[in-house]
Amino acid sequence: MLVDFENVQPDLSLLANSSYKVKVFFGAKQQEGRVPFKLLDAMLALAGNVEPVKVMRSGSNAVDMHIAYYIGRLIEREPDATIHIISGDTDFDPLAEFLRANGVSCNRSKTIAELTKKAAPVKQPQPRSRPAPVAPRAAKAPPPSKAPPPPKAPPPAKRPPATDKLAPVLKHLHSYTGKPSTRKKLAQTIASYFRQHGGALPNDAVEQIIDELIRMKYVSQDGNKVAYHLAS
């Protein structure tokens, strides 16, 4: 979560006991005044989950540019992260729309209360339970005859060992928490891995790796969604 504190001053205490990682961006002129105790108290309650970011120079859209820079760094490190921008500045909306069109979860909310309201599950009214009608007692049926046990299924065929190109990808996916849920996000994850380990791959090479994972049944695809079968 990235908070444009120059534009809005949201109630950070609403994030207490949540799992959000928060960066609060302070404009250059804001740093000259005193920090309100309520803000200080809320940031202390978030402990290691909050980081203040000081924008050292004032200027048109100075804070906005810093926020956009941090979003880019976050996507590079964690392509599957969900990004929340807290700001009343609608200039962030085209950026959020562009990121969503490219498979990144990004939204802008004016207040934290608005964000938590969107995330809160809606409770559905439960129908009143009625007592079940008592069925008439049926005559005792004769004990069933013993059926022969079903034939044993043949053991699954062993997959061939992974190639040198697939082996590091499989190892990375094994250790990856919150695995990519779509083919597009899986492609971003594989591309990001090779950029950090040996050099970037062209898009068609990344797609070939995904096709090979599907062919060898490490991954299955339904529509745009993917599922993983790495343990077998």
Distances (CA, A) of 219 to 186, 209, 211, 230: 10, 11, 9, 8
Assign 3-class secondary structure to 143-158. Answer: CCCCCCCCCCCCCCCC
Average pLDDT for 176-204: 86
The pLDDT value recorded for residue 33 is: 66
Q: What is the DSSP string of 24-72?
A: EEE-TTGGGSPPPHHHHHHHHHHGGGEEEEE--S--TTHHHHHHHHHHH
pLDDT per position as a tens digit, 42-62? 888 887 888 889 888 888 888
CA distance 113 to 176: 32
Structure tokens at 111: 């207040």
Residue-averaged pLDDT of the chain: 81
Structure tokens at 147: 């059926």
Quick one: DSSP state of residue 122? P
Q: Are 14 and 116 in contact (CB under 8 A)?
A: yes
Percentage of the chain modeled with pLDDT above 90: 22
The pLDDT value recorded for residue 31 is: 67
The pLDDT value recorded for residue 157 is: 56
CA distance 189 to 182: 11
The pLDDT value recorded for residue 12 is: 83
pLDDT band, very low/low/confident/very high, at 146 (cuts 50, 70, 90)? confident
Q: Are 186 and 206 in contact (CB under 8 A)?
A: no
pLDDT per position as a tens digit, 91-145? 999 999 999 999 999 999 988 888 777 655 444 546 566 666 666 676 676 676 6
The pLDDT value recorded for residue 95 is: 92
For 12-21, 56-65, 155-164, which range has the lowest pLDDT when averaged over its residues?
155-164
Average pLDDT for 142-161: 66
CA distance 207 to 143: 58
* Domain assignments of the chain as residue spans, ordered by start: 2-119, 166-228
- H helix or E strand, kind and range, residue 74: helix 62-77
The pLDDT value recorded for residue 122 is: 41
